[in-house]
Homo-oligomer: A and B are copies of this chain.
Amino acid sequence: MVRFADRVANVKPSTIREILHLTQQSHVISFAGGLPAPDLFPLGRLREAADQVLSNPANLQYSITEGETVLRELVSGRSPELPDPANVLIVSGSQQGLDLVGKLLINPGDSIVVEAPTYLGALRAFDVYEARYVAVPTDEAGIDPVGVEQALNDGAQMIYLNPNFSNPTGKTMTKARRRQIVELAERFDVLVYEDDPYGMLRFSGEPVPPMITMSSSHVLYAGSFSKILVPGFRLGWLSGPRGMVEKLTMIKQAADLHTSTTTQAIAAEAFTGDFLDRHVDQVRAHYLQQRDRMLLALANYFPKEADWTVPEGGMFIWVTLPEGLDSTALLGRAVDEGVAYVPGEQFFTDGSGRNTLRLAYSVASGAEIDRGIERLGSLFTRSMTSGSYA
C-alpha cells in the first residue's frame, strides 16, 4: 500500500454530503442541502449567452490565471473600495478560495479563529493544512471580540468569518462588531477571511458595510456567483491586498492553471446591461417569501420551547431545541417521516450544539415547507413528551 502524506490523517468526508446521499430519495422533503432554487436559474439568458460565447474559440482556449478581465472588472466595478481588477482573482467557486488561502497562510498546527457554529466547508478546507481551531461564541452582534482577542493573544493566525446571513445561523454581524474585529486583526497582524457568498441576497433590514471596506491590508473578501447566478459554473472571487492576491494567483496557477474560460465568459456575457441586478432582485423576493413561509410554519408547528433565528437574507434558519433534544439522534426518524435537515452539531468543532439544527428554505416548495415543518414539529414535540427528552 502506497504511503499517504501525514496531512491526509485530517481528511474526512463531509458529513453533510453523507446526509444528502441519504435524503436523495425523492419523497424526502429536504431542508438539508444549501442548494439555490433551481427554478430561479436564468436558463434562457444563459443559453443566449452560451450561443454567443461558443462562437469565439478564444472562449474555449487556455487563459490567464487571474481570470477573464471582463469578469474581474465587473467585480471591481461593483466594489467602490476595490477600484482595480488587479486586486481580484477569479476562483473555481468559493470553496477554492478557502483552499488557496489555507495553502497560503496555514502552517501545520496553526490556530484559526472561527465562530461557534461555523461553515463546515471552511473546516474541511483548512483541515488539509493541519489547522487547529479556536471556536469563539457568537452573540446577537456577531463573534465575541473578547474571545477573539484572547485567541489572538494565544497566537491564532487567521480569523474566518461569514458575516452576512451566516451559514449555518442566518445571523449578520453589526457594523460596530465588524470594526472591532478588523481592528484586532490589524493590531495582531493577522488576516480576516471575509466569506460572503450570500451578501447580495439581503431581503430585509439595512445593509452593513463589508469588512474589506474597513482595512485595505488585513481583510480578504470572498464572493461567489453560485447563489446569485448558478453553482454549476463554479465561479467565485477573492479580492484584497495586491501582494496577497498576486501570491494567491501563483498558488492557483499550480493548483488548476485557471478557472474555466468558458463559464467565465458565459457569466460575463449574461451580466451585460442590468441583468445581474434584475435577476438578484427576483432571487431576493423569492427567498423572502420562502423565509416568511418557514417562519410562519415554525410558529405554528414547533414546540413553544424551541427558538430560531430570523435571517435578513440568505438561505438558512438556525433552530435551537430545548436542552436534551438531540437533533443528531433524531435525524434518522425525521428521514423515516420524510423530512431532512442538518444536525447543528456538524457546525461545531467540539461536538456541542446537539440541540440545534440548520434548516434551508431555499429549495422546498411552499407546500413542502408547511408539510415538512409540521412533521418535524410533531416529531420534536413527541420526543419532548416521550423518554427521548432529557
Q: Give the B-binding residues of A (Cβ under 8 A).
A: 1-8, 11-14, 17, 33, 35-36, 38-39, 41, 43, 46-47, 50-51, 54-55, 57-63, 65, 92-93, 95-96, 99, 103-107, 110, 121, 124-125, 127-129, 157, 189-191, 218, 226, 230-234, 243-244, 247, 250-251, 253-263
- Closest residue of chain B to A44 (Cβ to Cβ) is B54
Decide if B61 touches A50 in the complex (CB within 8 Å).
no
Decide if A103 touches B7 in the complex (CB within 8 Å).
yes
Decide if B12 touches A250 in the complex (CB within 8 Å).
yes
Contacting residues, chain B, for A189 (C-beta < 8 A): 1-3
Besides A3-B157, A59-B232, A61-B232, 19 other CB < 8 A contacts?
Answer: A1-B243, A2-B105, A2-B191, A5-B103, A5-B106, A8-B104, A13-B253, A14-B253, A38-B60, A47-B50, A47-B54, A51-B51, A92-B92, A92-B234, A93-B256, A103-B128, A121-B257, A124-B254, A256-B256
Q: How far is the CA of A336 from the CA of B247 in the complex (A)?
A: 30
Most B-side CB within 10 Å, residue of A36, A58, A256: A256
Contacting residues, chain B, for A191 (C-beta < 8 A): 2
Say yes or no: A231-B38 contact (C-beta < 8 A), given A99-B254, A104-B4: no
Contacting residues, chain B, for A17 (C-beta < 8 A): 65, 253
Q: How far is the CA of A260 from the CA of B51 in the complex (A)?
A: 18
Contacting residues, chain B, for A261 (C-beta < 8 A): 231-232, 234
Decide if B43 touches A50 in the complex (CB within 8 Å).
no
Decide if B125 touches A244 in the complex (CB within 8 Å).
no
- Closest residue of chain B to A234 (Cβ to Cβ) is B260
Contacting residues, chain B, for A103 (C-beta < 8 A): 5, 7-8, 128
Contacting residues, chain B, for A99 (C-beta < 8 A): 254-256
Contacting residues, chain B, for A92 (C-beta < 8 A): 92, 234, 256, 259-260
Decide if A62 touches B47 in the complex (CB within 8 Å).
no
Contacting residues, chain B, for A256 (C-beta < 8 A): 92-93, 95-96, 99, 234, 256
Contacting residues, chain B, for A234 (C-beta < 8 A): 92, 256-261
Decide if B232 touches A63 in the complex (CB within 8 Å).
yes
Smallest CB-CB A-B distances: 9 pairs: A232-B261, A38-B57, A60-B230, A60-B232, A50-B50, A96-B256, A124-B254, A99-B255, A47-B54
- Closest residue of chain B to A255 (Cβ to Cβ) is B99
CB-defined A-B contacts under 8 Å, sample of 19: A3-B157, A3-B189, A4-B105, A5-B110, A7-B103, A17-B253, A35-B61, A36-B61, A38-B57, A43-B55, A59-B232, A60-B231, A61-B231, A92-B259, A96-B256, A99-B256, A121-B257, A231-B261, A232-B262
Partner of A54 from B46, B254, B258 at Cβ < 8 Å: B46
Q: How far is the CA of A95 from the CA of B96 in the complex (A)?
A: 14
Contacting residues, chain B, for A41 (C-beta < 8 A): 57, 60-61
Say yes or no: A247-B6 contact (C-beta < 8 A), given A47-B55, A50-B47: no
Contacting residues, chain B, for A12 (C-beta < 8 A): 250
Contacting residues, chain B, for A38 (C-beta < 8 A): 57-58, 60-61
- Closest residue of chain B to A51 (Cβ to Cβ) is B47
Decide if B60 touches A5 in the complex (CB within 8 Å).
no
- CB proximity of A83 to chain B, nearest CB, Å: 22
Say yes or no: A57-B35 contact (C-beta < 8 A), given A62-B231, A255-B95, A263-B262: no
